[in-house]
Structure 1
Amino acid sequence: MADFLVPTTANPESDAAHRLRGPIHAQRHVRIICIGAGASGLLMAYKLQRHFKNFSLTVYEKNAEVSGTWFENRYPGCACDVPAHNYTWSFEPKLDWSAVYASSKEIFAYFNDFARKYGLHKFVKTRQQVSGAYWNKQRGGYDVEIKDLQNDQIVTDHCDILVNAGGILNNWQWPAIPGIDKYKGTLLHTANWDDKIDLSNRHVGLIGNGSSGIQVLPTIQPHVQKVTTFIREPTWVSPVQGLEQHVYSDKERLEFATKPNVLTEYRKNVERGLNGQFGIFLKGTNTNNETEAYFRNQMHDKLQNEYLEERLIPNWHVGCRRLTPGVGYLESLGKDNVEVVYGEINEITERGCKCDNGNEYPVDVLICATGFNTSFKPRFPVVGPSGQNLQDIWKDEATSYFGLAAADFPNYLIFLGPNCPIGNGPVLSAIEQQADYMCKLIDRFQTNNIAQFAPKAEAIADFIAHKDQFMKATVWQDPCRSWYKQRPDGPITALWPGSTLHYIEALMEVRLDDWDIKYNGNRFAWLGNGYSQTELDDTADWGYYIRERDDDEPLSRKRKLQLINGSGTMSGNAGVSFSGKDAPPADAKL
């Protein structure tokens, strides 16, 4: 067997011949490169280490440490807008979160500790930034160019399968405002924060009222001389009812750590609540209408300012832009040392911002909370067998298969690609499902003589047509400016056409009829030399299928799902959603 279990990428045509000397489903060596050691990249390393043998993995990370966005984002007030106990892997709880909405430092520690606990750092090469990936027509797989940021040299590597875990909220950018290079004060971006800058007793300008800007303002307001915050559009700001900020007491944290099932049941209840809110995103549902009324009342009570209420409370539905709890933000807008300038910034001058009201607003420090490039276009060339660059194909609209892969780019997998559930509900559970799906594809690649796998173009076209039709009934279709779409009236490229639970069920099985599979040699070479894997294992029971009763796992999808989701174990989930009044159509019930 030793001669079979060697890397075959150097001579892929020999794979079928090698397989004829081994048993059915023999595992060939698979070389995997993963781009990014953030949450997704670390999870991929964990899954491969746990479930696979005879593989090699390198995770290239541009930063000095792992954890991705949670290493990079250190601006004042930086936190997650998902309840912390449910911003963890389903199998890896954290016992001592400080509050419902925890700081970025705590979240960085969680993922860094996860990597350390499971020995994942051995797969990671830091300060190494991928600059290009090119399909190798002779060997198959990708030749990957990596810039070594420590010595400014380009190195190359090769892989059978390339996984892009670079993230969507990662490629930060300055605002497209004329004159930004002329500003002579201190210029900062929230995603590239300089910890050495002291804001005390300074006049600070803040551009943006997205998630980052909303977190920055209440954090810096008590310490600066003045904040002039520039807002160009309204947005809904409020925690969903039942998920308000709360600092955990010592007693609560002790119970989480010592009492059996207390933390698990708490996490389950929060997750049920998050999964019960999908109706918020559907127009005309009770959940959306009641959430909007609740948010409107919350914003009115906290603003207490007719001028701000008229400008900051949207006339589009709740959820069109990403929801943010906005802890302390609305209250900060009314503080004596906060000036709100509503409208467009026409240009940035040497002294500050000149707005469409004709006034110039000089500031000592200008903070740009202006987000990221969210076009989904890769940050580097990805060139497939046809010679086409995915950057060019996705320059106007990114279209993927279930947020996982692109047509005509074989053996290339993507975490959080276009139209994945990044804003539909709990996100880390969706990332777990993506990792499991990728592992199923990798397993099939490893145990069959597959040369290439990529989603069919017609499958993606059908998916996009279904997605576009579905989105007409959602609040995301409203004419708001949102990173969910590239323009207010454009197609929704970021989100999945359904709930997170819907996405998880959609990815439970690999639909191979949606994939274009190419083989090395005879497609049935995986049958091998006629021996089973069982016969080669002296410790296995060679009569394992003889038993006293039928204890097989369910064969139908529905029965299998009922076993997985514990159907019949709950008295009813209606109470965990915001209103509990939105029910699926009668013919959709179990």
Structure 2
Amino acid sequence: MATSAPSRDIGASDAPHLTLQDSPELRRALAAVDLPVLLMTYVHLSHDEAMLDKFAPHIPPLSTGQQPTAPDDLVAELREKMRHVLTTPGAGEEAELPPALYAKIMSVGMGEPIEAEFVPLLLEQSGLGPQPDYSAKPARNKIPADFRMLIIGAGLSGMAAAIKLREAGYDYVVVDKNPEVGGTWYLARYPGAGVDTPSYFYSYSFELNREWTTYSPLGHEMQDYLVGVSHKYGIRDKIRFETKVTTLRWDDAAKLWHVTLIGKDGVEQTESFNAILTAHGPLHRWEWPKIPGLHDFKGKLMHSAAWDVDFDVTGKKVAMIGTGASGAQIGPSIAPQVDELTVYMRSRHWVLPAPLAGAVKVPEDVRWAVRHIPRFTEYMRFYVYWTASDGLWPGLVMDPEWEGNPTAISFANDMARQWAQGHLEAKLAGRPDLIEKLTPDSPVFSKRPIMDAGWFDMFMRDNVKLEDRQIERITPRGIRTADGEEQEYDVIITATGYTLKKLAGDLEIIGLNGRNLGEEWGDEDPVGYFGTMAPGFPNYFQIHGPNSGPNHGAGINLLAEAQIHYIIECLDEMVERGASAMEPLQEATDQFNEVVQAQAQRMVWAHPKAKNNFKNSKGRIVISWPFRLLDFWTRSRKPEFDHFRFTGSKDG
């Protein structure tokens, strides 16, 4: 999967030119692309607001499930005007627009009001607006020459941190246990591996990818993109591959972290850093399910996170344990090849219709538009982001007055449940046994839903069986259920996910006065400040820390970029003060968590029937951010520095 050189040109810096040649390719592209995206792009280039007014009555909100119904002559007028703008020098202009015009373009394009407070976030994340500029800040001239930061992990988040820290003038070293960048997408090699976030949003906002071949990124394309970014931004010489971190120990007298590393030669060494940024993420800490006898099995045993790419399942009798996101990608991918597939379901998931999920190809005419029409990619990115972001948030908030279906929490949530239930019943028509087995008894969104990329269709195959009996144990020949029946298999696949709640991972992290972060957080009870820091651990930053998960939509890339911005703001403040260390105050951390947990208990994840990886055994939500993504992004713009203790300066 990994490559050692970029496979193609990528990125926003390779943006199309405004003036194009009139050609059959252009005309086909204008006829093929989504009408709202074409409209928004045209008005951006032409400033022709009158076209917004003409189309506004014909573009319904996406939540209605209805398609635009503009008259043919109006659509033809739009396409012709866009062709003229693109082929006539001086007819269009690539310029920043007034915020009010951006809001109007986006509101009409989505068929619903987009409030002004969203516009700065949308401009940054779509690639339409400016990225944060660190070059002019006073801190640039004050960073100590020997200040050095350690970034742990060279996946999506760690690479973004490296790129942005370099822009901000900070020296760093990146270490990664793998021989290539990519993190999750280097490791995810199982059949059907991919992302359930739409392709055109799942990339860096500062480095848009114009080369997706499918509407949902396939794992190998995501990996190729990240490898390409690492070359383009020149960060590879700062990465030490096949290197593991075992211990981080804070030296308060020296105001340094002493770090124990083991290189690929197996030699252990200790180095010192002024600050630590962990970006290893939770999606690499997999473990075998705790099923008695698992390793007694004499056939082929594979975990989805450690797939043997050289093993061929063709013609085999296969059991798959797990019906989450990985299982829902693996199952439909291997079902046509195997002799038999039995899916052992431990818990039921809501499955949402997703006609563009999986390996659905982006038509070549649309890909031409993405490559060649200025600002088209940015508005497509905005379009797919808005369909799966804060618009979903109200449906996750419990309505205390709700007296309807007990497997819903509000009117909006019940509408989503009916939508998902209707999809299930339509796909499994004629199979009441499957409908009964696969209908969850918990509210939709109480755990991450599955995007249907052939999951329900798979169960209608003659060679696929759904088994909901409890597994008693794994035997040398197969699986025995609680009623004593044993089934023999050639292959057992465990698609049982990751250990999400152990956010310190396997690192030994020793802070002030010998405090051990791994022991304090344990396997399931992490408590931090803004998902980024923890009191007692100066200059220790974490991306995707406690309560920073985007569990109502969008992509983890948005929150990672927000946290990186926040971390750079913190470093700059420390430099400006002439301080050597900073940490959040315990009182501020307690207050932050009191507010977060109060809101979290109002969310669908806290529902009594909710079984998910977002909450611990005590019912405390430890993974999810319970407010809007906009609220997280806005808070990340400027830290509240009175919530911190600075030391090593007059402020200490």
TM-score, scaled relative to structure 1:
0.81
What does residue 33 of structure 1 align with? 150
Q: Give yes or no for contact 1:421–1:499 (8 Å, CA) kept in 2.
A: no
Preserved contact between residue 546 and residue 622 of structure 2 (Cα < 8 Å)? yes
Distance 1:519 1:49 in 2: 24
Match of 1:320 in 2: 446
Counting only pairs closer than 5 Å after superposition, residues 397-408 of structure 1 correspond to structure 2 as 397-408=525-536
Quote the offset at 1:279 in angstroms: 2.0
**Helix, strand or coil at the partner of 1:238:** strand
Q: Residue 168 of structure 2: which of 51, 74, 78 is its match? A: 51
How much does 1:243 deviate?
A: 7.6
Matches for 1:62-141 after TM superposition, within 5 Å: 62-141=177-256
Say whether 1:486 aligns with 2:616: yes
> In the TM superposition, what are the counterparts of 1:227-376 in structure 2 within 5 Å?
227-239=341-353, 246-275=360-389, 276-284=391-399, 285-304=410-429, 305-375=431-501, 376=503
Q: Which has the higher contact order (CA 8 A, sep 6+)?
A: 1
Task: Find the aligned partners of 1:87 and 1:248 in 2 and give their Cα distance.
Answer: 15
1:221, distance to aligned residue in structure 2 (A): 0.2
Pairing 1:414–2:539 present: no
* Partner Cα separation in structure 2 for residue 117 and residue 24 of structure 1: 23
Given that residues 469 and 481 in structure 2 are in contact (C-alpha distance below 8 angstroms), is that contact kept between their aligned partners in structure 1?
yes
SS in 2 for 1:109: helix
- For the residues of structure 1 that align with 2:246 and 2:564, how far apart are their CA atoms? 24
Task: Write the distance in 2 (CA, Å) between the matches of 1:303 and 1:279.
Answer: 29
Q: Would the aligned equivalents of 1:164 and 1:413 in 2 still touch at CA under 8 Å?
A: yes
1:67, 1:112 within 8 Å by CA — same for their partners in 2? yes
| Secondary structure at the counterpart of residue 536 of structure 2 | coil
Task: Name which of 476, 484, 504 aligns with 2:605.
Answer: 476
Describe the shift of the 1:277–1:246 C-alpha distance in structure 2 as closer, same or farther (beyond 3 A).
Answer: farther
- Counterpart of 1:194 (choices 301, 304, 308) is 308
The answer (yes or no) to whether the contact 1:255–1:262 under 8 Å persists in 2 is yes
Secondary structure at the residue paired with 2:514?
A: coil
Question: Do the aligned residues in 2 keep the contact of 1:228 with 1:340 (CA within 8 Å)?
Answer: yes
- The residue that corresponds to 1:179 in the other structure is 293
User: What amino acid sits opposite 1:35 in the alignment?
Assistant: I
Question: Which structure shows the bigger proportion of residues in helix conformation?
Answer: 2
1:340-363 Cα deviation digits (max 9, x unpaired): 110321211111111223211211
Shift of 1:473: 2.0
Deviation digits for residues 12-36 of structure 1 (CA, Å, limit 9, x no counterpart): xxxxxxxxxx999732131100000
- Please say if residues 277 and 287 of structure 1, whose CA atoms lie closer than 8 Å, have aligned partners that are also in contact: no
**CA displacement, residues 533-554 of structure 1 (integer Å, 9 cap, x when unaligned):** xxxxxxxxxxxxxxxxxxxxxx
- CA–CA distance in structure 1, aligned partners of residues 568 and 614 of structure 2: 28
Counterpart amino acid of 1:293? Q
Percent identity of equivalent pairs: 27
Deviation of 1:151 after TM superposition, in Å, equals 2.2
Deviations 1:22-52 (A, max 9, x none): 9997321311000000011100110011121
**Residue equivalent to 1:448:** 577
Q: 2:648 aligns with which of 510, 513, 519?
A: 519
Q: Which amino acid aligns with 2:166?
A: Q
Asked if the contact 1:229/1:340 (under 8 Å) is kept, the reply is yes
CA contact (8 A) 1:207 1:367 kept: yes
TM-score (norm 2): 0.74
Is 326-335 or 471-480 further displaced after alignment?
471-480
The yes-or-no answer on 1:167 pairing with 2:281 is yes
Asked if structure 2 preserves the Cα contact closer than 8 Å seen for 1:425 and 1:499, the reply is no
| Matching residue within 144, 149, 152 for 2:259 | 144
Report if aligned partners of 2:353, 2:423 keep a CA contact under 8 Å in 1: no
Q: Spell out, residue by residue over 1:434-493, the C-alpha distance to the aligned partner (whole angstroms, 9 max, x if none).
A: 000001111222333212211111212112221221122211112322111233x61111
Q: State the distance in 1 between where 2:629 and 2:217 align.
A: 22
Could you tell me whether the CA contact under 8 Å between 1:25 and 1:448 is conserved in 2?
A: no
**Is the Cα contact below 8 Å between 2:216 and 2:357 reproduced in 1?**
no
Deviation at 1:121, TM superposition (A): 0.6
Between 57-66 and 424-433, the greater mean CA deviation after superposition = 424-433
Inter-partner Cα distance in structure 2 for 1:61 and 1:23: 29
Q: 1:207 & 1:337 partners in 2: Cα distance?
A: 16
The amino acid that maps onto 1:387 is G
Query: Among 507, 510, 518, which residue is 1:383 paired with?
Result: 510
Q: Does the residue aligned with 2:513 lie in a helix, a strand or coil?
A: coil
**1:150-209 deviation per Cα after TM superposition (whole angstroms, max 9, x unaligned):** 322212211000000010111011001111121111111111111111111011110100
**SS of structure 1 residue aligned to 2:563:** helix
Q: Given residue 600 of structure 2, which amino acid in structure 1 is its aligned partner?
A: M
8 Å CA contact retained: 1:218, 1:328: yes
Residue 233 of structure 1 contacts residue 311 of structure 1 at CA under 8 Å; is this kept in 2?
A: no
